[in-house]
């Protein structure tokens, strides 16, 4: 299975700051990577797919980059509503696998 | 709007079967792919498997001998059955559309305990 590693399990930042969340695959997955946001009481939200393509409805302050094994989700100018859990997921091969999640807390 | 809603018992005894239903509105399950994903305590996520628009299935090999995903197209529902559960199957279970999951249910928490 492709192992997905999110090295940061927790991150705290203030509104207006920019943050980056990294995700590393154990083998090359090209750009078959998605990012999700989970907030308490809400359904998971697909933010980005194909490594860098914003899902419809995702604010433009979110961006994704990377290919191969190293990927980054960047949130520019944090808004208070951006708190939550962020997961990466590879869909290059089955079984699909997820990173361990990064909890973003707004200071 | 596409909506998914999981339902099923919140408590299952060890060695028994876990059965969940995902009811879909706003979109036909005879199109696209429909999957089950679970989140364990501590936030680890696991893709369990999917059923396709044609009814074909694909399962995570870690579950292959215990899992079955089926559907009822007349009710626009699909189902998860997980056999011989243990306490390690305690998790929140989600149904979702597509492998890059663009629509999710709210999740149902299932505890395996005697």
Q: Please provide the DSSP assignment of A4-66 as one string.
A: EE-S-SEEEE-TT--EEEEEEESS--TT-EEEEEE-TTS--EEEEETTTEEPTT--TTEEEEE
Residue A33 has pLDDT above 90, yes or no: yes
Hey, are the CB atoms on A97 and B58 less than 8 Å from each other? no
Q: For chain B, give the number of residues.
A: 114
Q: Give the Cα separation of A31 and A26 in Å (integer).
A: 14
Q: Residue B31 has what pLDDT?
A: 96
What is the average pLDDT score of chain A?
96
Strand order in the sheet with B18-25: B3-7, B18-25, B77-82, B67-72
Taking Cα atoms as reference points, which of A30, A28, A36, A20 lies closest to residue A73? A20
pLDDT in tens, A38-65: 998 899 999 999 999 999 999 999 999 9
Tell me if A87 and B45 make a contact (CB, 8 A cut-off): yes
Q: What pLDDT is recorded for position B64? A: 74
pLDDT value at residue A40: 87
Give me the pLDDT at residue A86, please.
98
CA-based nearest residue in chain A for residue B61: A95
User: What whole-number distance in Å separates Cα of residue A39 and Cα of residue B86?
Assistant: 28
The verdict on a CB contact (< 8 Å) between B101 and A101 is: no
Determine contact, residues B67/B93, Cβ cutoff 8 Å: no
Could you say which of B58, B61, B105 has the minimum Cβ distance to residue A43? B105
Averaged pLDDT, groups of 10, chain B, 114 residues long:
97 98 98 97 95 97 94 98 98 97 97 97
User: What pLDDT does A106 receive?
Assistant: 86
């Amino acid at each position: 299975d492709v192992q997905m590693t999110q090295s940061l399990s927790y991150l705290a930042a203030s509104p207006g700051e920019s943050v980056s969340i990294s995700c590393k695959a154990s083998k090359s997955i090209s750009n078959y990577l998605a990012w999700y946001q989970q907030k308490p009481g809400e359904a998971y939200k697909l933010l980005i797919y194909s490594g860098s393509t914003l899902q419809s409805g995702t604010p433009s302050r979110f961006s994704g980059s990377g290919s191969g094994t190293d990927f980054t989700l960047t949130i520019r100018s944090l808004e208070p509503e951006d708190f939550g859990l962020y997961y990466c997921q590879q869909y290059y091969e089955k079984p699909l696998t997820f990173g361990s999640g990064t909890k973003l807390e707004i200071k | 709007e596409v909506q998914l809603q999981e339902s099923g018992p919140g408590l299952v005894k060890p060695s028994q079967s876990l059965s969940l239903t995902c009811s879909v509105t706003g979109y036909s399950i005879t199109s696209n792919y429909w999957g089950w994903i679970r989140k364990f305590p501590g936030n680890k996520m696991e893709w369990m498997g999917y059923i396709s628009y044609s009814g074909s299935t694909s399962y995570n090999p870690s579950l292959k001998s215990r899992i079955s995903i089926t559907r009822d197209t007349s009710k626009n529902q699909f189902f998860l059955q997980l056999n011989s559960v243990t306490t390690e199957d305690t998790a929140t279970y989600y149904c979702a559309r597509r492998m890059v999951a663009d629509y999710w249910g709210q999740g149902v928490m299932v505890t395996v305990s005697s």
